[in-house]
Amino acid sequence: EVQLVQSGAEVKKPGESLKISCKGSGYSFTSYWIGWVRQMPGKGLEWMGIIYPGDSDTRYSPSFQGQVTISADKSISTAYLQWSSLKASDTAMYYCARPLYSSSWYGFDYWGQGTLVTVSS
Amino acid sequence: SYELTQPPSVSVSPGQTARITCSGDALPKQYAYWYQQKPGQAPVLVIYKDSERPSGIPERFSGSSSGTTVTLTISGVQAEDEADYYCQSADSSGTYPYVVFGGGTKLTVL
């Protein structure tokens, strides 16, 4: 059974750093892209970027380029999303997701449960 | 930047047909995908490649494409279909394609 299990909720202060994780299981982790999606409170879905764990090829949405870093450790089948200096506007639910097809970026058919990040002084 | 445009809300009575549209200039060249999201839950893929239905998705969900508009149709709407629906496609105008979501449509079952 394919599963994406994300790390737990975080409460941080502005300016702090953070790294959240997404562990894949039940499939070949290195053969599928993993994407990250932001959902701010009461708002819609926003695609942040995507990584291919097989070779760590990473692409970012222009809106998130330079704001976050996406990485992966294929030895433990885990993808990461990190911030070096959080802002209050980073408060959101963050999802990782896997596309339907190993060759595709699109059509996420498996999703993590989400990680709620709250940034408040 | 590339945008996909959805109506903010659609309302239908149980048993009727709901149609949710998504418009974007690149849709004639790029497939569309549709997601259902209920409160407090992760999104669920209900349509891929414009009109294909993943296994486990009821047959009442269907998708179609015409020019710069794609449509998610839910036939015989049930109360459990009340949710937010998002379209997704790609912007391939840049150095590499990147994924774009529509703003979402809240489906209310009256």
Q: Mutate which of B20, B86, B98 to disrupt the A interface (most A C-beta within 10 Å)?
A: B98
Q: pLDDT (tens digit, 9 = 90+) per residue, B37-63?
A: 999 999 999 999 999 999 999 999 999
CB contacts of A112 in chain B (<8 Å) are 42
Say if the Cβ atoms of A45 and B104 lie within 8 Å. Answer: yes
- Residue A34 exposed, middle or buried by CB count within 10 Å (0-12, 13-18, 19+): buried
CA of A17 vs chain B CAs: smallest distance (Å): 25
Residue of A nearest to B94 (CA): A62
pLDDT score recorded for residue A65? 94
Say if the Cβ atoms of A95 and B42 lie within 8 Å. Answer: yes
| DSSP structure string for B36-88 | EE-TTS--EEEEBTTTB--TTS-TTEEEEEETTEEEEEESS--GGG-EEEEEE
Q: Encode chain A (121 residues) as per-residue pLDDT tens digits.
A: 999 999 999 999 999 999 999 999 999 999 999 999 999 999 999 999 999 999 999 999 989 999 999 999 999 999 999 999 999 999 999 999 999 998 888 899 999 999 999 999 9
Angle at A43 between CA A112 and CA A46, to 5 degrees: 55
B24 in reach of chain A (CB within 8 A): no
B99 in reach of chain A (CB within 8 A): yes
B90 in reach of chain A (CB within 8 A): yes
B42 in reach of chain A (CB within 8 A): yes
**Total residue count of chain A as it appears in this document:** 121
